[in-house]
Amino acid sequence: MSNYQYDNQTVKGFIVSSIFWGVVGILVGLWISVQMWAPSWNIAPFFTFGRLRVVHTNGLAFGLGVGAIFGISYYIVMRLTKRPLLFPKLARFHLHLFNAAIALAAVSLFAGMNQSLEYAELEWPLDIGVVILWVIFAVNVFGTIIKRKEEQMYISLWYIIATVIAVAVLYIVNNLSVPAGLFKSYSVFAGINSANVEWWYGHNAVGFVFTTPILAMFYYFLPKSTGLPIFSHRLSIVAFWSLIFAYLWTGAHHLVYTPLPDWIQTLAIVFTIFLIAPSWGSVVNGFYTVAPDWTQMRTNYLTKFFIFGITFYGLQTVQGPTQGLRVVSQLIHYTDWVPGHVHMGTMGWVTMTVAASIYYIIPKIYKTDIYSVKVANTHFYLVLIGQLIFSVTMWITGIQQGALWKAVSPDGTLKYTFMEGLVRNYPFWQMSTAGGIIFTVGMLFFIYNIYMTMRSGTALAGTVERGGR
Amino acid sequence: MAGEIYKKPVLFAIVSAVVILIGTAVTMFIPMMMSHMHPKLDNLKPFTALELAGRDIYQREGCNNCHTQTVRPLKTEVMRYGEYSKAGEFAFDYPFLWGSKRTGPDLARIGKKYPDVWHYRHFEDPRKFFPQSNMPAYDWLGERALKPQQVKAHMDTLGFPYVEEDISQLAGKNELDALVAYVQVIGTAVTKKRMERISVTVEPAEKENPLAGDPAAVLAGKEIYEENCAGCHGDNGEGDIGPSLIDTVFLYVEGDLADDDYYEIINNGTEEGNVEEGRSMKGGMPPFRGDLSKTEIWSVISFIRSLQER
């Protein structure tokens, strides 16, 4: 019998850091949503839409998303391997390096250092920083898993392993570039080939940052917080392997009707449709897990977050493949429909699941209860309403834009100039700002709740577990 | 047996990596080795030093967040923007700048559509031309000098050809000069199709303005004029970037033109090489057939005639 400690400090550090970067990212998001309809909100040179939009996407994907993934994965890995991290000091260094890298990343994007690759905008010195961060994460996760005290690897560990491998391949390949000075580089890929590499990356960044690690959280914290076992182990096996197989084929659905060879587009569309199946494997598994006791939707606030989160994941993974179809793409591609789609996934699925995981973790490592279930419920309804207003508004605008661009007069000429189409977006863009504000207020309730929970408990440097056998 | 893999993390990681790499290989690595992924139009030229400097600024300012650079092969898209994008016209784009969102219009065929001075004015204040535009102003680029040695280093990195003079000439230029130079070269490797005017199913224009003498047409034309024409020809047709419409010189020759000639010019623009009534055009005015219907064009002509009568 030997007692051992889980390192809570690093987990907590990552969670607090990710919330901080999340606030920055969300506020910048609100700002650019105003710039859509009020150009005077552009403040040159650092705060124009073109620069702020990448701060928004990178701040939330890397700051909030990856930060939470690092911290929560460490939490999950320690518990599923029944041992502390193999290199706890390295994990602490990882945290500090992460915050330094995100801070520098934000500054560099404000300054306009931008590779113009969506979700891979950071210039080469920061790319190297990101790779180092990822290697540290990989070493600690794999090392800890290899030296685990629990023979069977649970579902969440599969998803974490797949995440570590896929993101490494994706990030390194897409960022291959030739430096032309410390702050500027040119991609080694050109033309249609660079488009193909970028969207292979871009789509799978969604797959392996906003999907697989979040599913790892879902599969771990849903049973933990409901006390109900995962419905089907077999279904989770089938869903896992088919998901990680199919995802990598689908990037070119972002390039429908571009000069990219048709066969790559068609292949991507076919696999995109197939992807509904493994995605819904997890959705069904989640629903049936809670099925024995649906009353938890009323009585357990965490269940509500997880079930709504997985529901949005389910909607997202039907809407996404639909958008890949040529006949739909020609109408909605390049319109506001697409940001509407993305925000259902990020505001609905990712943020809800991450927030619920944090609601579970923080009281545990502070040895206390959540400060207020009421505040958590307020948070839930505000982010839900905010997200729905945002997404639905953007879908309507998107269809309108697509339709106006295509509209033809009886004499065969185009019916609307570009400007005539643009001005019709303004009321919808204002509405999306309103949705964003509601969402932001919801997130402030979340932060307040977490802060008060931390204050009311006593931070434990480590959770002592009775281990060994 | 198959269940063993969930107890062997190293094996699990290897199998996962293989599963992930299959789709990666088929859709990304293998195409990369194929020649049809690296096409190049014969007349496509590498960017000049000034154009590359402008492209760097386009990247720095994140223009691709609001503007795409691909025209899809869809009928209305070709009508609106011009010839659909070809695989071979992006060979020197490291990386591609197609973008994914059209908050502003597509720019794949913007090169040479307007004269340089139009772009300077528009970058300085987009709302001068389009009062309801949401594009940020980029007047401040005009105050920032280019750094010739930096541009040279960038040209060297990409291996694009240049002579020393190209670099030394950058000394007096600013960032706005570079950006305009880049914008003016976008999509110009594809020759404009003269045929476009026929492919659009516009009935042959009447010889005379069917709306002549209709005061409602003058009113409607005024609105269309303010939206589309005033930016270049002035609020009252007095001329600015574009020539005066109320003097007696048309297409560089003394003497007015007939209504149907006006129609032709508005419909097709003044592309260099086009000839109207024996008068050669020198470019500068974009075609409006994609933006204005037949009735709208005749209404604008009615309004222009009313300006001339004042």
B197 and chain A in contact, CB less than 8 A: no
Mutation to test the A interface, candidates B103, B160, B293, most A Cβ within 10 Å: B103
Mutation to test the B interface, candidates A248, A272, A326, A327, most B Cβ within 10 Å: A248
Same domain? B137 vs B234: no
Return d(Cα B202, Cα A410) in angstroms, integer: 10
Mutation to test the B interface, candidates A155, A193, A212, A275, most B Cβ within 10 Å: A193
The residue among B156, B185, B214 that closes a domain is B185
pLDDT average, residue stretch B257-271:
89
pLDDT-derived band at A467 (thresholds 50, 70, 90) equals very low
Query: If you ran DSSP here, which 8-state letter would residue A388 be given?
Result: H
Same domain? B63 vs B171: yes
Return d(Cα B305, Cα B310) in angstroms, integer: 9
- What is the per-residue pLDDT for B213? 84
Q: Do B137 and A339 touch (CB under 8 A)?
A: no
Sign of the alpha-carbon torsion through B212, B217, B219, B225 = negative
**Which has the higher per-residue pLDDT, A466 or A41?**
A41
Q: What is the pLDDT of residues B147-161, one digit of tens each?
A: 999 999 999 999 999
- What is the per-residue pLDDT for B275? 84
Name which of A27-41, A180-194, B27-41, B204-218 the model is least confident about. Answer: B204-218
Same domain? B171 vs B240: no
In a domain, B42, yes or no: no
A196 and chain B in contact, CB less than 8 A: yes
pLDDT-derived band at A468 (thresholds 50, 70, 90) equals very low
Sign of the alpha-carbon torsion through A286, A202, A32, A103 = positive
Q: What is the pLDDT of residues A97-107, one digit of tens each?
A: 999 999 999 99
Q: Which residues of A touch B113 (CB under 8 A)?
A: none
Give the domain CATH number at B57.
1.10.760.10
**Residue matched to tokens 């309004």:** B303
Average pLDDT, chain B: 91
Same domain? B176 vs B284: no
B282 and chain A in contact, CB less than 8 A: no
A194 and chain B in contact, CB less than 8 A: yes
Same domain? B146 vs B264: no
- What is the per-residue pLDDT for B198? 43
**Which has the higher per-residue pLDDT, B100 or B295?**
B100
Structure tokens at B2: 């198959």
Could you tell me which chain B residue has the CA closest to the CA of A242? B19
User: Domain total for chain B?
Assistant: 3
User: 130-189 in B: which are within 8 Å (CB) of A?
Assistant: 130, 132-138, 140, 150, 153-154, 156-158
Assess whether pLDDT exceeds 50 at residue A1. Answer: no
Please state the pTM of the whole predicted model: 0.93
Q: At what angle are helices B294-309 and B259-268 packed, to 10 degrees? A: 120
A277 within 8 A of A237, measured Cβ to Cβ:
no
Mutation to test the A interface, candidates B14, B58, B65, most A Cβ within 10 Å: B65
In a domain, B195, yes or no: no
Structure tokens at A101: 């890298």
pLDDT average, residue stretch A211-238:
97
Could you tell me which chain B residue has the CA closest to the CA of A159? B16
In a domain, B102, yes or no: yes
- What is the per-residue pLDDT for A413? 84
Range of the domain at B117: 49-185
A178 and chain B in contact, CB less than 8 A: yes
CA distance B251 to chain A (A): 26
Sign of the alpha-carbon torsion through B120, B126, B128, B129 = positive
Return d(Cα A204, Cα B51) in angstroms, integer: 33
The residue among B140, B159, B185 that closes a domain is B185
Return d(Cα A114, Cα A109) in angstroms, integer: 6
**Which has the higher per-residue pLDDT, B35 or B204?**
B35
B134 within 8 A of A36, measured Cβ to Cβ:
yes
- What is the per-residue pLDDT for A464? 67
Assess whether pLDDT exceeds 50 at residue B201. Answer: no
What is the DSSP track for B229-297? THHHH-TTS--SSSPPSSSSEETTEES---HHHHHHHHHH---TT-EETTEEP-S-----TTT--HHHH
Q: Do B289 and A413 touch (CB under 8 A)?
A: yes
| A–B CB contacts, 8 A cutoff, strictly below | 273
Q: What is the pLDDT of residues B51-99, one digit of tens each?
A: 999 999 999 999 999 999 999 999 999 999 999 999 999 999 999 999 9
In a domain, B28, yes or no: yes
Same domain? B176 vs B231: no
B4 and chain A in contact, CB less than 8 A: no
Give alpha helix (H) positions in chain B.
Answer: 9-24, 30-33, 49-60, 75-81, 116-124, 126-129, 148-158, 164-168, 175-185, 196-199, 215-228, 230-233, 259-268, 294-309
The residue among B185, B219, B248 that closes a domain is B185
B11 and chain A in contact, CB less than 8 A: no
Same domain? B33 vs B55: no
Query: If you ran DSSP here, which 8-state letter would residue A251 be given?
Result: G
How far is CA A183 from each of CA A56, A163, A176, rounded to the nearest angstrom? 20, 29, 15
User: 133-152 in A: which are within 8 Å (CB) of B?
Assistant: 142, 145-146, 148, 151-152
In a domain, B253, yes or no: yes
| pLDDT more than 70, % of chain A | 97
Return d(Cα A23, Cα A64) in angstroms, integer: 8
Same domain? B69 vs B181: yes
Structure tokens at B17: 């990596």
Return d(Cα A432, Cα A437) in angstroms, integer: 9
- What is the per-residue pLDDT for B208? 85
pLDDT-derived band at B205 (thresholds 50, 70, 90) equals low
Assess whether pLDDT exceeds 90 at residue A182. Answer: yes
Same domain? B156 vs B246: no
pLDDT-derived band at A461 (thresholds 50, 70, 90) equals low
A336 within 8 A of A344, measured Cβ to Cβ:
no
A421 within 8 A of A401, measured Cβ to Cβ:
yes
pLDDT-derived band at B204 (thresholds 50, 70, 90) equals low
Structure tokens at B149: 């040695």
pLDDT average, residue stretch B301-310:
91
- What is the per-residue pLDDT for A431? 98
Q: B178 has which bridge partners? A: none
Same domain? B129 vs B248: no
Parallel/antiparallel/unpaired status of strands A177-179 and B249-250: unpaired
Assess whether pLDDT exceeds 50 at residue A469. Answer: no
- What is the per-residue pLDDT for B203? 54
In a domain, B44, yes or no: no
CA dihedral A181, A184, A188, A189 (to 10 degrees): -160
Query: If you ran DSSP here, which 8-state letter would residue B3 be given?
Result: G
In a domain, B230, yes or no: yes
Q: Do B23 and A252 touch (CB under 8 A)?
A: no
- The three-state secondary structure class of B48 is coil
In a domain, B193, yes or no: no
**Predicted-complex ipTM score:** 0.95
Q: What is the pLDDT of residues A240-283, one digit of tens each?
A: 999 999 999 999 999 999 999 999 999 999 999 999 999 999 99
pLDDT-derived band at A458 (thresholds 50, 70, 90) equals confident
Return d(Cα A338, Cα A349) in angstroms, integer: 16
Q: Do A258 and B72 touch (CB under 8 A)?
A: yes
- The three-state secondary structure class of A207 is helix
pLDDT average, residue stretch B222-234:
90
pLDDT average, residue stretch A128-152:
97
Q: Does an H or E element contain A366, and which? A: none
A113 within 8 A of A123, measured Cβ to Cβ:
yes
A295 and chain B in contact, CB less than 8 A: no
Residues 6+ apart with CB under 8 A from B271: B192, B194, B281, B283, B287
Query: If you ran DSSP here, which 8-state letter would residue A449 be given?
Result: H
Domains of chain A: 1-188 (1.20.210.10)
Evaluate the omega torsion of the peptide bond into residue B95 and state whether it is cis, within 30 degrees of 0: yes
pLDDT average, residue stretch A306-325:
97
Same domain? B222 vs B127: no
Same domain? B215 vs B269: yes
Q: Do B228 and A190 touch (CB under 8 A)?
A: no
A354 within 8 A of A345, measured Cβ to Cβ:
no
